């Protein structure tokens, strides 16, 4: 019924304040890289401009927040984005592609689609995928499969899925060797975590099996 109203009738739906905040944070990162890529010298925008991208998006979606939630989320985003800019600017790669939307590609005959937050490119036709997360920092979602969870955590599956998505979208181009989740909000200890995953052949085989298994059960499968 939800699918019918949202995707067939196209009835507008309300977005939660947490989702609106997450969208604003993602937008700030997207604009940061887009502006850098459009400059001849590939210089990143200044810190205050980075924060302004976030603030502008928040103002546009202000009706989706209560007044107190708006002020709380605005302050959170300003603090968290400033932290990443001040502490990680020197490490940011400039050979990137952001918000890559793959509308259609296939894995062993199965159609798949998705949007990848960021892809970093390096020498030797190597690529690294990054996905940004807001909200609770849950490292368990990055666990590989084990006896208690045959398909691993949802973030683990998401990164492996994106590897297959990109490599099948651009065959014979770059090989995605690793993926990373960047938690934009600090954990309860005040730590800003960035967790990386180096892919192996077992990861790829698991995801291919999972894609084909879910296709047999559901024409619109979700893997993460």
Model confidence pLDDT, tens digit, residues 13-70: 556 889 999 999 999 999 999 999 999 999 999 999 999 999 999 999 999 999 999 9
Kindly report the pTM of this predicted structure.
0.88
Which has the minimum average pLDDT: 53-62, 68-77, 109-118, 207-216?
207-216
Residues facing residue 97 across a β-bridge: 119
pLDDT value at position 100?
Answer: 96
CATH number of 96-217, picked from 3.10.180.10, 3.40.190.10, 3.90.320.10, 3.40.50.150? 3.90.320.10
pLDDT value at position 101?
Answer: 96
Residues facing residue 102 across a β-bridge: 114
Whether pLDDT at 221 is above 90: no
Q: Please, are residues 159 and 197 in contact by the beta-carbon 8 Å criterion?
A: yes
Q: Please, are residues 166 and 178 in contact by the beta-carbon 8 Å criterion?
A: no
> What token pair was written down for 49?
């401009």
Domain segments of the chain: what residues? 2-91, 96-217
> What does the pLDDT look like over 126-175, one tens digit per residue?
999 999 999 999 999 999 999 989 899 999 999 999 999 999 999 889 99
pLDDT value at position 172?
Answer: 86
How far apart are alpha carbons 193 and 84 in whole angstroms? 11
Whether pLDDT at 220 is above 60: no
């Amino acid at each position: 019924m939800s699918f019918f109203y949202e995707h067939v009738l196209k009835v507008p739906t309300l977005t939660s304040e947490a989702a609106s905040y997450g969208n604003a944070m993602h937008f700030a990162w997207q604009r940061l890289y887009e502006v850098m890529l459009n400059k001849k010298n590939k210089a990143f925008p200044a810190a205050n401009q980075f924060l302004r991208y976030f603030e502008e998006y928040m103002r546009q979606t202000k009706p989706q927040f209560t007044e107190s939630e708006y002020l709380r989320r605005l302050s959170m985003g300003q603090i968290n984005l400033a932290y990443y800019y001040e502490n990680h600017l020197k490490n940011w790669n400039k050979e990137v592609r952001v918000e890559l939307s793959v509308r259609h590609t296939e894995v062993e005959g199965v159609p798949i689609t998705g949007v990848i937050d960021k892809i970093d490119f390096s020498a030797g036709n190597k690529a690294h995928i990054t996905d940004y997360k807001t909200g609770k920092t849950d490292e368990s979602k990055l666990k590989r499969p084990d006896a208690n969870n045959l398909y691993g955590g949802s973030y683990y599956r998401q990164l492996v899925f994106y590897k297959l998505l990109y490599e099948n979208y651009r065959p014979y181009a770059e090989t995605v060797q690793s993926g990373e989740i960047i938690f934009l909000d600090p954990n309860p200890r005040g730590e800003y975590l960035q967790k990386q995953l180096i892919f192996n052949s077992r990861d790829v085989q698991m995801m291919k099996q999972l894609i084909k298994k879910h296709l047999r059960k559901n024409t619109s499968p979700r893997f993460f």
